Amino acid sequence: MKKTNILSVLVMGLGLLLGSCTDDLDQSPITETTSRNVYAEAANYKKVLAKIYASYVLAGQGQGGANGDLSTINGHDFSRGYFNLQEAATDEVANTWLSGNNLVDLTYISWNPKDSWVSDSYYWLFFNISLCNEFLRNCTDGAIAGFSPAEQEEIKAYRSEARFMRAFSYWMVLDLFRKGPKVDENTPVTGYIPEAYDGPGLFDFIESELKALVSEDAESALPDTNEYGRASKPTAWALLARLYLNSAVYRGTADTRYYTECITACHKVISNPAFYLEPEYARLFNADNHKRTHEILFAMVCDATTSVTWGAGTYLVCGSCGNSSSQDPAKYGLSNGWGMFRARGEIVEKFGDISSTADSRAMFYSDGQAQYFTGPIDNQSEGYFFEKFTNLTDEGTAASNSAATGCSTDYPMIRLADVYLMAAEAMLRGGSGITRQGALDLVNKVRLRAYNGDESGKISDSGLTLDFILDERGRELYLESVRRTDLVRFGKFTTDAYIWQWKGGVLDGRAVNDRYNIYPVPDTDLTANPNLSNPLY
């Protein structure tokens, strides 16, 4: 099933290969041909832009990551590592292949600056930032002056998208690490040690970039709409909302002004008539989910024809299906299940009794499985398997041969339901611009969809609390790489305010050191850049 999107553009011939990111993180990608040759033709700009988008889900130039772009420890693409960092340590995901997949420390919240997934994710993010900076160096007004007026306008639009992708990558750096090298298109590419951003500095840079991209200035703004899989103004507004909602964490102090800004950004998306909740929750996570542009604002695009990956949607679908249980992989459009991870009992509990709940989001396989652990976390019979993501089309047929070419299910990064819940939470945190009733209405729209239109799913005003919002985000957004961010924002990731099994490496769970609210900059980059440090580690 071939999708029409930016990743359908031929990018392999560009050979944008970065062999190592352990020195200057702003180095130019090593290319088989020079940048001068690549950027000599206007048509090549879209191919490089496609490479920037693809760097989230593809590990290399060949099928499934062959001919790798980056020397990594685990050998996987960015999306797989990002999922592990955002989910493995939370109340949602229990990993099975702990030692073989290097997930012991992430699972038990005991990592250090040498952790392989932390390191790989860090360098993938700066690989993407390097691609964006190199692109932006080559699409200044002067650099593109030799092209036709129409080609120049097209390239300027690409320039805005590259700025968004850089801002998105830097937002992940901020969320995960709270610091990082300060590099942009004007930073020297050799013989230079970058200064370091701290949390507020990164916040300010990302905010300024996103504000420029949603402005009315045609020179810098993103388009109002765009081809599927590419950024537009609504995408940037939604990311701004996420930035503002987490402002107290990122800046170190709470300021209700930012919650008001969050609500304003959410309204820019909510008021857009092009967006509405997909009536069928499950269709947001099948192999035809690229058709849900009315709710999915941005996604990591996967396709068994044009963008084969063992991360992103493939990792979610195959990894969620057991390989030693009574599950039938064909039910999910799979050739085989990997049995990589299962649900921890606490996320299941938020739905109540899943055998009788009317909440359509409670998508778990429980046959032969125990909800809670009585022993080691890697016992495949303890913990339900997830059924949220599938490789099935809307017609119920397998979209691809998952064993040969992976799955064709995209991985949603930002959805409208998330925007609804962010607006409601920002109101509860003191933001203005929406009434309490308006916030309640948004939450109940999400719950009405979850209960297939049954009014019994709605909550009353007294039920609208911050604790409810955190649980509702768990029910609505589980497996979507927001859980760690949410738990940190609510002060429940490291503390004893919320305990789940095997938190902190013990069966009954325990609080851990607050330093684990952030990930450490890898040792290798501390050696390369003395401006960086890990005082908490």
* One pLDDT digit (tens) per residue for the chain, 537 residues: 446 565 554 333 344 433 333 333 443 444 445 677 889 999 999 999 999 999 998 866 655 556 666 777 777 889 999 999 999 999 999 999 898 889 999 999 999 999 999 999 999 999 999 999 999 999 999 999 999 999 999 999 999 999 999 999 999 999 999 999 999 999 988 889 999 999 999 999 999 999 999 998 777 899 999 999 999 999 999 999 999 999 999 999 999 999 999 999 999 999 999 999 999 999 999 999 999 999 999 999 988 887 767 768 889 999 999 988 899 999 999 999 999 999 999 999 999 999 999 999 999 999 999 999 999 999 999 999 999 999 999 999 998 888 777 889 999 999 999 999 999 999 999 999 999 999 999 999 999 999 999 999 999 999 999 999 999 999 999 999 999 999 999 999 999 999 999 999 999 999 999 999 999 999 999 999 999 999 999
- For residue 396, the tally of other CB atoms under 10 A from its CB is 10
What's residue 305's pLDDT? 80
Asked if the structure places residue 303 within a domain, the reply is: no
* pTM value surpassing 0.85: yes
The count of C-alpha atoms lying within 13 angstroms of the C-alpha of 148, restricted to the half-sphere facing its C-beta, is: 6
Q: Residue 424: what are its φ and ψ, rounded to 5°?
A: -65, -45
- 284 and 412 in contact (C-beta within 8 Å)? yes
Distance (Å, whole) CA 116 – CA 114: 6
Asked if the structure places residue 470 within a domain, the reply is: no
Domain housing 91: 6-197+519-528
- For residue 449, the tally of other CB atoms under 10 A from its CB is 20
Distance (Å, whole) CA 477 – CA 471: 10
60 secondary structure, DSSP code: B
Which of 154, 186, 168 has its CA nearest to residue 53?
A: 168
Asked if the structure places residue 240 within a domain, the reply is: no
**Residue 431 token pair:** 């933001």
Listing DSSP states for 457-512 in one string gives: G---GGG--HHHHHHHHHHHHTTSS-HHHHHHHTT-SSSTTS--TTGGGSTT----
Which of 126, 88, 129, 127 has its CA nearest to residue 109?
A: 88
The count of C-alpha atoms lying within 13 angstroms of the C-alpha of 154, restricted to the half-sphere facing its C-beta, is: 13
Q: Which contacts (CB < 8 Å, 24+ apart) does range 133-137 have? A: 133/26, 133/166, 133/183, 133/184, 133/185, 133/187, 134/28, 134/29, 134/35, 134/185, 135/45, 135/48, 135/49, 135/52, 135/159, 135/162, 136/162, 136/163, 136/166, 136/184, 136/185, 137/185
**Which of helix, strand or coil describes residue 252?**
coil
The CATH number linked to 128 is: 1.25.40.390
Which of 39, 232, 223, 55 has its CA nearest to residue 137?
A: 39
Q: Which contacts (CB < 8 Å, 24+ apart) does range 270-274 have? A: 270/416, 270/419, 270/420, 270/423, 270/442, 272/234, 274/225, 274/234
What's residue 249's pLDDT? 98
Asked if the structure places residue 364 within a domain, the reply is: no
Burial of 64 (0-12, 13-18, 19+ CB in 10 A): middle
Instruction: Provide the number of structural domains found in the chain.
Output: 1
In the block, tokens 């009353």 appear at 460
**Residue 230 token pair:** 């590419």
- For residue 108, the tally of other CB atoms under 10 A from its CB is 18
What's residue 105's pLDDT? 96
Asked if the structure places residue 125 within a domain, the reply is: yes
Asked if the structure places residue 54 within a domain, the reply is: yes
Asked if the structure places residue 343 within a domain, the reply is: no
Distance (Å, whole) CA 280 – CA 278: 6
What's residue 65's pLDDT? 56
What's residue 18's pLDDT? 36
**Residue 83 token pair:** 């999922």
What's residue 220's pLDDT? 83
Sign of the alpha-carbon dihedral angle for 411, 413, 415, 417: positive
The count of C-alpha atoms lying within 13 angstroms of the C-alpha of 127, restricted to the half-sphere facing its C-beta, is: 31
Distance (Å, whole) CA 335 – CA 407: 10
Asked if the structure places residue 286 within a domain, the reply is: no
What's residue 325's pLDDT? 86
Please name the helix (run of DSSP H) or strand (run of DSSP E) that holds residue 405, with its range, or none: helix 402-405
Distance (Å, whole) CA 362 – CA 369: 15
Single-letter residue type at 251:
R
- 504 and 494 in contact (C-beta within 8 Å)? no
C-alpha dihedral over 421, 425, 427, 429, to 10 degrees? -170
Please name the helix (run of DSSP H) or strand (run of DSSP E) that holds residue 300, with its range, or none: strand 296-300
